[in-house]
Structure 1
Amino acid sequence: MIITGYVLTALGALGILFIGLRYLLAPHASAATFGLPDWPREAFQSWLNLKGVRDLGIGLLTVTMLITATPVTLAWFILVTALIPTGDMLVVLRYRGSKALAYGMHGGTAAALVVIAFLLLLG
């Protein structure tokens, strides 16, 4: 179970690194995938870039934890990071964004992180 947890953690880290880079390099194309309604382009780009930096940071931190942490420490880190997509889901729902993206992408990511954390803890 620990190996499965490590592999899933590595895949998640690569995924969030990709998302972060995409929000920095193509913020407007990425915006629709977050689930919020459209905003004016000028004001929106800076916030999308901030999301990109946040996602890159958490991705690099995940890689660092994957390399240096024990399975139990990694599990608790992953469990705490599940708060990020949970918060994203609540923001999308609060501002009447796409429910499908809120629950499917953000809620699904949070649930996957909880499963990965338990795989690491139980392994």
Structure 2
Amino acid sequence: MHYAAITITILTGLGIIWVGLQYLLAPVKTATGFGLPAWPTESPSIAWLNIKGVRDVVSGLVVLIPLALGQYEVLGYLLLAASLTAFGDALTILRYRGKKAVAYGVHGTTAVLVLLAGVLFLTA
């Protein structure tokens, strides 16, 4: 179980860093896959997408650093908290009548996996 938690953490940590970099490099193109029905497409509104990118990169680092340091209990609590981001994203997409498949399939699945990894770290 410990290896499953480590694998989930590495994949989600690197995955959100990748997503964050995409928001910095190609913000409008990346945003269309998030699941919301509309995104800003012109400057200065695109700056909000860059801000999201920076936060996504930091979110990945926040879980990978304690993993690298072997701080599994702290990591477990951080993952429980971090799962709220993905749950919140899914609920926001559903609230604003975005793509249900993305809300459940991407954000919901991510939330459950991150939550599971957090529980595994805290119970192992």
TM-score by structure 1 length? 0.91
* Alignment deviations for residues 71-115 of structure 1 (CA, whole Å, 9 cap, x no partner): 222111101100001111111111111111111111111001111
1: CA distance between counterparts of 2:57 and 2:69? 18
State, as a whole percentage, how many aligned pairs show the same letter. 44
Consecutive unaligned residues of structure 2, counting only runs of 5 or more, are none
How far residue 40 of structure 1 moved from its aligned partner, in angstroms, is: 4.0
Pairs aligned (count): 123
The ranges of structure 1 where at least 4 consecutive aligned residues each deviate by more than 3 angstroms after the TM superposition are none
Deviations 1:37-61 (A, max 9, x none): 1234115422211111110110111
Does the Cα contact within 8 Å between 2:16 and 2:56 map onto a contact in 1?
yes
Q: Is 1:46 aligned with 2:43?
A: no
Report the residue type matching 2:69 in the other structure: T
2:10 alignment counterpart: 10
Query: How large is the Cα RMSD of the aligned pairs?
Result: 1.5
Deviation at 1:34, TM superposition (A): 0.5
Aligned to 1:41, what secondary structure does the other structure show?
A: coil
Aligned residues of 1:2 and 1:71 also touching (Cα < 8 A) = no
Provide the residue aligned with 2:59 in structure 1. Answer: 58
Query: Which residue of structure 1 aligns with residue 74 of structure 2?
Result: 73
**Structure 2 length normalisation: TM-score?**
0.90
